[in-house]
Amino acid sequence: MTSTALAPAPTVARSPHPAEHLTPEHLEAAQRHLVAKALAEFAHERLLAPSLDRSLPARQGQERPYVVTLDAPGGVRAVYRFRARRLALEHWAVDRATLTRERDGRPAPLDVLDLVLELQPLLRIPDDLLALYLEELSSTLASAAYRRARGGPSSAELLHAGLADVEQAMTEGHPSFVANNGRIGYGVGEHDAYAPEAGRSVRLVWLAARRAVSHVATGAGLTEDALYRHELDPATRDRFAARLRDLGLDPADYRYLPVHPWQWEHRVAVTFAPDVARRDLVLLGESDDTYRAQQSVRTFLNADRPDRHYVKTAVAIQNMGFLRGLSPAYMRATPAINDWVADLVDTDPELAACGVRVLRERASIGYTGDVYHRTPRPNAHRKMLAALWREQPHTLLAPGQRATTMAALLHRDAAGDAFATAAVRASGLDPADWLRAYLRVYLRPLVHCLRAHDLAFMPHGENVILVWADHVPVGAFLKDIGEEVAVLSDRPLPPEVERIRAVVDDDEKALAVFTDVFDGVLRHLAAVLVTDGVLTEGVFWGVVAETIDAHAADHPDLPSGVDLRAARFAHSCLNRLQLRNTLQMVDLADQSSSLIYAGTLANPVARGAVAGGGSPVGVAPAGVGRPGDGRPGDDRAGDAGTGDRAGRAARGATGETA
């Protein structure tokens, strides 16, 4: 009997990514930032209650010393001390430089992972999801260290930068979520290749999808063929057709699907291997154009041809409470929904006067020939092969105008200098007048859409692009319409738009502004401008109140019962959603009933709440709750005990983030 020697296995040369950003210095800075944010946002959501620290001396200024004492697992007592300024909407502006930690009376390094374990009795993360939440925090730390190591332009330099460069320079994801840069699934090399902060050129992968098991939807005036002609050069289209013919396939039987390179490597060629093998999906190759990833991670801006559309792809990484897929079923109605919303916005004189427009999602494609679409229940695997094309703002700008993500207003550079502060000072305007200009293109249109049309957007920083002239906001583009817009009444709708209806009462309609605008954006912007000494809290919220009242005065006949000057509103808590289920924060089919509230918040623009240039009336005193024990404070309005109740609200918290 003879034996046959096995041929030597082929070797693959691999060079491990050095991960040079993971150093003690970079990680320490990332930890300090994230621990401060966690303490601030968990206190905001009443998961803990910092107390005044009597052991530290008072000093001039409005910052005061606070302490959080936690009985950590293993009988260890952890103590956090810091100085902070309390602002409206129970916002904690923590001075990171003053933050210290002790364990059993000895100094200890700041570590957000340890903090979560110490807080676990209060946070109540399900045991089976705790490790995943800690992994998302670790990834967020790695991303912050990467940004610090890579460096970036100053806020003053960003005032003159282009849209793509501003997107790359952003150092923070969602301002409210603590674990906001999870991206579970990216390796260190893939992060360096595809993360928006890397700023790398990316070539998308193109597949041919068999027409019989896929669909394309296009907006008004656009055909599938015209879409391909706009997005792909003739030579590229010829190359794709030749590839299909070389395989003995008829190009007429296929349509073209752009795919994230990570998705091809990790999902399509593996999870959909049978579909590739039977030629329902055919690899055509890379795009000729190069793209830059945007803050939403899965959306790309064409770097070579800025007249061409944004491309939004599915990428099955876990990020901030969701697997970042795209549903082919949702994609079918997306262009029609966008056309309806855009027509409403474009034909409303008030919105035109405010300079607000919609970046329409003009076309979508989805593949449904896989086995996962034949399973009894919906699943995340059904959201792995779809894409859409969205208008970009470059061709819509007037001479002298520039565009940036609105997230830039909350950005601080490595030196701590704020983009918003730099813009106010560069504009030469009185700060209150600059704020009026901004609220005219942001808050006033959203108030009008809600009160005149029962229409609510998800207008966080990444979903709004500001238009600038001489460092002053003069217009805004609203985007991410198909997935994140809602009609909150029973007003007539075309059948193809019906899916965005979510009928709620007037109090819940108001949350579209209270939660998503006041608490989600303006709370953070106020902290930037107030702590930088640009203006006072009273002036800031006074201009907000003035904007709301001016709209009401200009439209006295609107029948809406939405009251944005009410005394209080429901306190919807975003981190509590992620802590409850870091895999999927809300049920996308019924977002409002998934939300979690912690009582109510005092409205900083309630009637009589803003006086002169002083502080808003009704800001709750610090240290409510049992001092020093780190437990949640009461509601401060007599309705404590509503606590973690799931209920209905006007909008959810499903926005993308980096």
Of 352 and 654, which is predicted with more confidence?
352
Estimate the crossing angle of helix 24-44 against helix 112-123, to 10 degrees: 20
pLDDT for residue 12? 60
For range 649-657, the mean pLDDT:
33
Does 310 score more than 90 pLDDT? yes
Does 596 score more than 70 pLDDT? yes
> Structure tokens of 150?
């890579």
CA pair distance 214, 627, nearest whole angstrom: 60
Beta partners for residue 93, in sequence order: 85
For range 591-604, the mean pLDDT:
84
Which of 86-95, 275-284, 607-616 comes out lowest in average pLDDT?
Answer: 607-616
How confident is residue 589, by pLDDT bands cut at 50, 70 and 90? low
pLDDT for residue 95? 97
CA pair distance 29, 184, nearest whole angstrom: 22
pLDDT for residue 623? 33
Domain 402-602 class in CATH: mainly alpha
Strands laid side by side in the 51-52 sheet: 51-52, 64-72, 76-87, 91-103, 106-107
For range 16-45, the mean pLDDT:
97
pLDDT for residue 498? 96
Closest C-alpha among 294, 308, 281 to residue 407: 294
Domain 24-150 class in CATH: alpha beta
Mean pLDDT score of the chain, rounded to an integer?
Answer: 90
Three-class HEC string of 147-200 = HHHHCCCCHHHHCCCCHHHHHHHCCCCCCCCCCCCCCECECHHHHHHHCHHHCC
Does 336 score more than 50 pLDDT? yes
Signed CA dihedral, 110, 113, 119, 121: sign only: negative
Strands laid side by side in the 205-210 sheet: 254-259, 205-210, 281-286
Residues 619-645: tens digit of each pLDDT: 333 333 332 333 333 333 222 222 222
CA pair distance 613, 368, nearest whole angstrom: 58
pLDDT for residue 228? 98
pLDDT for residue 451? 98
pLDDT for residue 56? 79
For range 301-322, the mean pLDDT:
91
Which residues of the chain form CATH 1.10.510.40? 402-602
pLDDT for residue 630? 35
pLDDT for residue 439? 98
Closest C-alpha among 19, 63, 3 to residue 188: 19
The SS3 of residue 601 is strand
CA pair distance 91, 571, nearest whole angstrom: 12
Residues 133-145: tens digit of each pLDDT: 999 999 999 999 9
Residues 248-263: tens digit of each pLDDT: 999 999 999 999 999 9
77, 68 in Cβ contact below 8 A? no
Q: What b-and-e string marks burial along 235-244, b requiring 16 or more CB atoms within 10 Å of the CB?
A: ebbeebbebb
Q: Indicate the residue type of 270.
A: V
CA pair distance 658, 654, nearest whole angstrom: 13
Residues 71-110: tens digit of each pLDDT: 987 888 999 999 999 999 999 999 999 999 999 999 999 9
Does 599 score more than 80 pLDDT? yes
Does 650 score more than 50 pLDDT? no
Of 548 and 609, which is predicted with more confidence?
548
Of 318 and 453, which is predicted with more confidence?
453
Task: Say what percent of the chain tops pLDDT 90.
Answer: 82
For range 387-416, the mean pLDDT:
96
Residues 148-158: tens digit of each pLDDT: 999 999 999 99
φ, ψ for residue 213 (rounded to 5)? Answer: -125, 30
Residues 427-477: tens digit of each pLDDT: 999 999 999 999 999 999 999 999 999 999 999 999 999 999 999 999 999
Residues 506-562: tens digit of each pLDDT: 999 999 999 999 999 999 999 999 999 999 999 999 999 999 999 999 999 999 999
CA 277 vs CA 270, 314, 386, 459, 548: distances in Å: 11, 21, 19, 42, 59
pTM greater than the 0.85 cutoff? yes
Could you say which DSSP state residue 408 is in?
G
Q: Indicate the residue type of 132.
A: L
CA pair distance 70, 481, nearest whole angstrom: 43
- Strands 356-358 and 472-478, by their bridges, are parallel
How confident is residue 131, by pLDDT bands cut at 50, 70 and 90? very high
How confident is residue 617, by pLDDT bands cut at 50, 70 and 90? very low
Does 23 score more than 50 pLDDT? yes
